[in-house]
Amino acid sequence: MAFDVNQVWNAANADSAEFSWVAIPEVGYMNCGTSAFDLMNDLKGIRKQRGMIIDSTAVQETIAVHAKARKQFKKNKLKWRCSGGSKKALGWIPFKSGAAKWVNGQVRYAGQYFKVWDSYGLSKFDFRSGCFSQDSRGRWYFNIVVQVESVARQAEGGQIGIDLGLKTTATCSNGDSFARQDYYRKLELKLGKAQQAKNKKRVKAIHAKIKNTRKNAIHKFTNKIVRENSLIVVGNVSSQKLAKTKMAKSVLDAGWFMLKTQLEYKSIATQGVFITPSALSYDEGFG
């Protein structure tokens, strides 16, 4: 199925590559090529022509995502999706609402059944749009949007300022802090041995453990901050400049971008306010 999706993406890419973006005064850049609707009409018979097993909604979603990416990057030719070789694309099968269903404890899609680790009780929800996706270790995930009742969430009403750093990842104005964890450096020796042994499977597993450990720790910290404060102000750090120095590993290991991203979307979910002063430099700090 992932191979079929790659073929649809590449066909849309080849079709749209013949056109280009044109700058129009007082309007901006306009796409003079084919739209997603046009590509869907052009590739209407691709499933039958190439004997694909994916359903028509997967074709439509693939073309829609391709069109969205072209608009975002102002390009009509994106990277090709390869199904093999060193540049192999990770597996991805998108679909629209109604294409996947929960039947007898399994996910039914395109006439096939897939076993999943149901940790959320999927039988209680109505499926909307979603996708199957593959990670770098070859593990497959079923990602689905479900409809649930809206529950109003609101922070307690406090205000807090957060200063980012390397000795302490985050220092709060109320005295709390998020201590430096050194996720990467703790496993750096094991990672080096796996790389020397050319054990690709082990290398990917260690990288995944580093990423998941970092994400889990940051989630716990940001949940507490957002739950207690309706106004969150985070000072800016020039991570791009620091990444070019001897502190590059420490900068990447700190996860500043992930921390700020989580604070922002969690603040929105709790009707809070998240601010990052663009004029604030690293030397000035905040607290």
Domain segments of the chain as ranges:
2-73, 92-146, 158-275
Long-range contacts: 119-125, Cβ < 8 Å, 24+?
122/146
pLDDT confidence band for 17 (50 / 70 / 90): confident
- Do 163 and 285 meet the contact criterion of CB atoms below 8 Å apart? yes
Q: Is the pLDDT of residue 263 over 80?
A: yes
Of 87, 70, 100, 77, residue with least CA distance to 10:
77
- Do 107 and 138 meet the contact criterion of CB atoms below 8 Å apart? no
Average pLDDT estimate for 251-258: 79
Q: How does pLDDT run across 124-159, given as a tens digit for each residue?
A: 998 999 999 998 888 999 999 988 887 776 667 789
**Angle, in degrees to the nearest 10, between helices 2-16 and 56-73:** 50
pLDDT confidence band for 63 (50 / 70 / 90): very high
Q: Which two tokens stand for residue 113?
A: 């059944």
Q: Is the pLDDT of residue 240 over 60?
A: no
Q: What is the pLDDT of residue 285?
A: 44
Burial class (CB in 10 A: 0-12, 13-18, 19+), 183: buried
Distance, in Å, from the CA atom of 71 to the CA atom of 92, rounded to the nearest integer, reads 20
Average pLDDT estimate for 102-128: 91
Q: Is the pLDDT of residue 217 over 60?
A: yes
Mean pLDDT of the chain: 84
